[in-house]
Amino acid sequence: MAKKSVPEPRLTKLSVYLYIPNIIGYIRVLMNCYAFAICFSNKRLFSLLYFVSFVCDGVDGWCARKFNQVSTFGAVLDMVTDRISTACLLVILSQVYRPGLIFLSLLALDIGSHWLQMYSTFLLGKASHKDVKDSTNWLFKAYYGNRMIMAYCCVACEVLYIILFLVAKNETENLIEVLMGLAQHNTPLSVIVGFVLIGWAVKQAVNCIQLKTAADICVLHDINKKHSP
């Protein structure tokens, strides 16, 4: 006699909200709120909390795959948390360093490229903004197609920003002078800065490619709508 299959429990809104990776996302939000509240009074604790939150970004993705708890809400929560966290740190750096416009421009590029990429993903009917297999740009495909490359570039960006925040002594620091000062001294910190600068540069290049590629998709979508019967 064949055994009766046990039906899977019906999903509810609450059960999705309480997915393990989503709970990790809520903890990241609270951690970042507290970190930015104390960023000037306790730089080291801020840097630790910020970096732990960033590491949790990888943990929640692992949990989503491990426990089969991948969700659209979780993906959006993850991206919004990442973008807002980085944006807040860039705003702080823009107040500490001169010219501050450099960090504000990086902020605009980061948010603009990711927002357009996410929107163009939905226009194409793809499940993830990381699905760029049909792209003709080798760097773009290498970045999203290799987890190690993407992880290195993302970590490099955040580590560079944290280091710049930690070494700033006042609110009128010259960015070029600080970087030159770090490069002139043969210390472990200068080696780390040199290493992460490469990953930072690659990520900014990918952001520029992402911005242009996603914008092209949006424009082509409009053209196809105009010419469709």
Residue with tokens 């501050």: 100
What residue type is 185 in one-letter code? H
For residue 117, which of 8, 210, 208 has the smallest C-alpha distance? 210
Give the DSSP per-residue string, 141-209: HHHHH-HHHHHHHHHHHHHHHHHHHHH--STTEEHHHHHHHHHHS-SHHHHHHHHHHHHHHHHHHHHHH
* Given 60, 78, 82, 110, the catalytic residue: 82
CB 111 within 8 A of CB 83: yes
For residue 202, which of 155, 144, 143, 146 has the smallest C-alpha distance? 143
Give the C-alpha separation, 82 to 203, whole Å.
Answer: 14
* 82 part of the active site: yes
Give the C-alpha separation, 75 to 19, whole Å.
Answer: 12
Angle at Cα 96 formed by Cα 94 and Cα 99, nearest 5°?
55
Each as own residue / partner, the long-range contacts of residues 188-192 (CB below 8 Å, 24 or more positions apart, any chain) are 189/163, 192/159, 192/163
Q: Which residues are tagged catalytic? A: 82
